Chain A
């Protein structure tokens, strides 16, 4: 479903992504981990072209995302890729409900009444029906992130990308967000998650990609990655995480 082939990205002199070759199959849950600055977020942001690449190809559902195309085409592809940010990025001038309703109305031409019903179902799914009228500033971080997931799901994307979805949260709120992600995974959603939540990776991921210095150093099933990491850099990374 998502396929990287010889993807390279540079910021001037700095080589941010080095010859990435990898794929995420339909229904698969991939966790991307690695030390900070290793290129995880850059990698995930190239999938919906929030970041440009300099060479290689990246296809989503058979479409070459970085091909020359009209902004209309690109927007259509983006609307089929759910994206959840570390800092939630809810629209603060809209209520939780409006955040979720807004895109289906504007982009899919849904009637407001239908969009409303659909948004309420999604908010129910993330456990926030009773907060539908609250504005982001009135919600906790965990609640905001759950609304953000509902907002992404409102476009009915076949795949979801998570860019450190729990890193900005207080520890007691991490669980509620991971629970939503876990339930999505169990329903067969194709997911790519940048996260430091190793318990989540171990339990939910089909594969774990380990990145350092812009390269994917290993791609392994969670059991072998956590039980018996081959790469010395991965061993050190896991040891550091455990020592924390």
Chain B
């Protein structure tokens, strides 16, 4: 079986890697990665904003954010994609490329889920953190930006990572509106070979696994780095601390 997989790679690696490009649209792994990167990098800041709006004292911000979250949570992503694909062109009167539709649907959908994770992270922090920032004279947004979010986002990294991984996997749905991403390419190969579905889709699974695993490793590395910094045992810090701790304490007051 592995030799079959090897043959598929050997014959079709350009299709798997970049699709029909440069003779057609960019596809394959490249399109999947591009969709993922755009989806995550746009959904994350939007998710933070939606979370802030969700806990805002102003109804004018809170109501639409809440409505967005409830809608996105209650409707499957596939249906959102169909809406975007069939309805948006009718509404705006011009054709929207499938790739653009897919990015927008991903961003809105994932942002709604991310916002709930971020909101949980914010509300799980002890209220003393906000109290302390406010008592020093920081504004609500200043307290959020410099005190609350850095802690909330760090604490929520495992959940945020899961949502990022979900986003990568959700790019496969681009297949249904003919976005030539990796699953689309794999299906093209399968349709041509006809007799090797197991090998083709095994290869597809392995590729997705590697991509998601890489992201997990990156997140773990980042988490370790931050933890090490906050524990004061990271890199150059340790040496300095050790030297300082070796000095006699100045006379206590």
- A48 and B132 CA atoms in complex are apart in Å by 11
**Residue from A89, A129, A130 within 8 A of B131 (CB atoms):** A89
**Residue from B137, B146, B240, B252 within 8 A of A75 (CB atoms):** B137
CB pair B136 A152 closer than 8 Å: yes
- Contacts of B206-253 to chain A: CB distance below 8 A: 230-232, 237, 240-241, 244-245, 247, 249-253
Min Cβ gap B133→A in Å is 8
User: Does any Cβ of B come within 8 Å of A120's Cβ?
Assistant: no
CB pair B138 A75 closer than 8 Å: yes
User: Does any Cβ of B come within 8 Å of A126's Cβ?
Assistant: yes
- A151 and B134 CA atoms in complex are apart in Å by 13
User: Does any Cβ of B come within 8 Å of A92's Cβ?
Assistant: yes
- A91 and B154 CA atoms in complex are apart in Å by 13
* B133, B150, B252, most chain A CB atoms within 10 A: B252
Min Cβ gap A133→B in Å is 6
Closest partner residue, chain A, to B229 (CB atom): A135
* A91, A124, A129, most chain B CB atoms within 10 A: A91
**Residue from B139, B146, B244 within 8 A of A130 (CB atoms):** B244
* A76, A90, A103, A179, most chain B CB atoms within 10 A: A103
CB pair B129 A89 closer than 8 Å: yes
CB pair B146 A78 closer than 8 Å: no
Given A89-B131, A130-B244: A76 and B252 interface contact (C-beta under 8 Å): no
- A135 and B237 CA atoms in complex are apart in Å by 11
User: Does any Cβ of B come within 8 Å of A225's Cβ?
Assistant: no
User: Does any Cβ of B come within 8 Å of A180's Cβ?
Assistant: yes
Closest partner residue, chain B, to A129 (CB atom): B250
User: Does any Cβ of B come within 8 Å of A50's Cβ?
Assistant: yes
CB pair A102 B146 closer than 8 Å: yes
What 1/0 mask marks residues of chain B from 128 to 154 whose CB sits below 8 Å from any chain A CB? Answer: 110111111111101000110011001
User: Does any Cβ of B come within 8 Å of A85's Cβ?
Assistant: yes
CB pair B147 A183 closer than 8 Å: no
* B132, B142, B154, B251, most chain A CB atoms within 10 A: B132
Contacts of A65 in B (CB 8 A): none
Min Cβ gap B248→A in Å is 9
Min Cβ gap B119→A in Å is 19
Given A130-B249, A134-B232, A180-B253: A151 and B136 interface contact (C-beta under 8 Å): yes
CB pair B128 A89 closer than 8 Å: yes
Contacts of A125 in B (CB 8 A): 253
**Residue from A107, A138, A152, A179 within 8 A of B138 (CB atoms):** A107
Closest partner residue, chain B, to A142 (CB atom): B252
CB pair A155 B137 closer than 8 Å: yes
Contacts of A130 in B (CB 8 A): 244-245, 247, 249-250
CB pair B230 A135 closer than 8 Å: yes
User: Does any Cβ of B come within 8 Å of A127's Cβ?
Assistant: yes
Min Cβ gap B232→A in Å is 5
CB pair B131 A85 closer than 8 Å: yes
Min Cβ gap B253→A in Å is 4
Contacts of A85 in B (CB 8 A): 128, 131-132, 135
Given A92-B151, A102-B146, A134-B241: A71 and B140 interface contact (C-beta under 8 Å): yes
Closest partner residue, chain A, to B151 (CB atom): A93
User: Does any Cβ of B come within 8 Å of A87's Cβ?
Assistant: yes
Contacts of B151 in A (CB 8 A): 91-93
Min Cβ gap A225→B in Å is 27
- A131 and B230 CA atoms in complex are apart in Å by 14
CB pair B137 A138 closer than 8 Å: no
Given A130-B245, A133-B240: A71 and B131 interface contact (C-beta under 8 Å): no
The contact sample of 18 A-B pairs, CB cut-off 8 A, is: A71-B140, A78-B137, A80-B137, A83-B136, A85-B128, A89-B126, A89-B128, A89-B132, A90-B132, A103-B136, A107-B136, A125-B253, A127-B252, A131-B244, A135-B231, A152-B135, A176-B253, A180-B253
